[in-house]
Copies of this chain bind each other. A is one copy, B any other.
Amino acid sequence: MSGTILIVDGLATNRIVLKVKLSAAYFSVEQASTAADAVAAILRDKPQAVLMSGDLPDRDACELIRGIHALPGCDRLPVLVLSADRTPQVRIDLLRAGADDVMSKPCCDKTLLARLRSMARHAPVEADLDLTHDTAEALGFAEAQAGFAARGLIAALHSGAARDQALCRRLAQATSHRFETLRTGRTDLLTGLQVPPDVLLTFLPPGAGEPELVHLAELCSAPQTRQSRVLALIDPEDDALAAKVLDLGVHDIAAHDADPGEITLRLEKLLHAKQADDTQKARLRTGLHAAVTDPLTGLYNRRYALSQMARLIDSARSSGQTFAVMVADLDHFKAVNDTYGHAAGDQVLTRVAHALRDALRPGDSLSRIGGEEFLVLMPQSGIADARAMAKHLCQTVRDTAITLPGVQTPVTLTISIGAMVADPARQGATFEPEAMVAEADHALYAAKSGGRDMVTISHLSAA
Q: Could you list which residues of chain A lie within 8 angstroms of chain B, going by C-beta atoms?
A: 2-4, 23-28, 48, 110, 113-114, 116-117, 120-121, 128-132, 134-135, 137-140, 187, 189-190, 210, 214, 217-226, 240, 243, 247-249, 281, 284-285, 287-292, 295, 300, 302-304, 307-308, 311, 334, 341-343, 370-371, 438, 441, 445
Contact = CB atoms under 8 A, between A and B. Distances in A.
23 contacts: A3-B222, A23-B187, A25-B222, A26-B189, A26-B223, A116-B221, A120-B221, A121-B249, A129-B281, A129-B284, A129-B285, A132-B289, A137-B311, A138-B291, A138-B303, A138-B308, A139-B288, A139-B291, A140-B307, A247-B249, A334-B334, A341-B445, A342-B441
A300 B187 contact: no
B288 A26 contact: no
Given A3-B224, A135-B288, A284-B284, 16 more contacts: A3-B226, A27-B223, A113-B214, A129-B284, A129-B285, A131-B285, A131-B289, A137-B308, A138-B308, A139-B292, A139-B307, A214-B243, A217-B247, A249-B249, A287-B288, A290-B303
B24 A307 contact: no
Contact of A26 (B190, B247, B289): B190
By secondary structure, the A interface counts as: helix
- Identify which of A217, A288, A445 gathers the most chain B CB atoms within 10 Å of its CB: A288
B26 A187 contact: yes
A302 B441 CA distance: 26
A139 B214 CA distance: 39
Contacts of A226: 3, 120
Contacts of A218: 25-26, 113, 117
A134 B343 CA distance: 29
A210 B116 CA distance: 18
Contact of A138 (B113, B281, B304, B371): B304
Nearest to A286: B291
Contact of A247 (B248, B295, B308): B248
Enumerate the 4 nearest inter-chain pairs by beta-carbon distance, A residue then B residue, closest first: A3-B223, A26-B222, A371-B371, A117-B221
A84 to B, nearest CB: 26
Contacts of A304: 134, 138
A221 B271 CA distance: 24
B24 A187 contact: yes
Contacts of A120: 221, 226
A222 B121 CA distance: 10
A223 B247 CA distance: 16
Nearest to A247: B217
A252 to B, nearest CB: 16
Contacts of A23: 187
Contact of A288 (B4, B222, B288, B302): B288
A128 B3 CA distance: 24
Contacts of A137: 307-308, 311
A218 B243 CA distance: 12
A232 to B, nearest CB: 14
Contacts of A249: 121, 247, 249
A117 B217 contact: yes
Contacts of A225: 26
A247 B28 CA distance: 25
Contacts of A129: 281, 284-285, 288
A134 B307 CA distance: 11
A291 B129 CA distance: 15
Contacts of A370: 342, 371
B291 A290 contact: yes
B138 A307 contact: yes
Nearest to A28: B223
Contact of A110 (B189, B214, B221, B281): B214
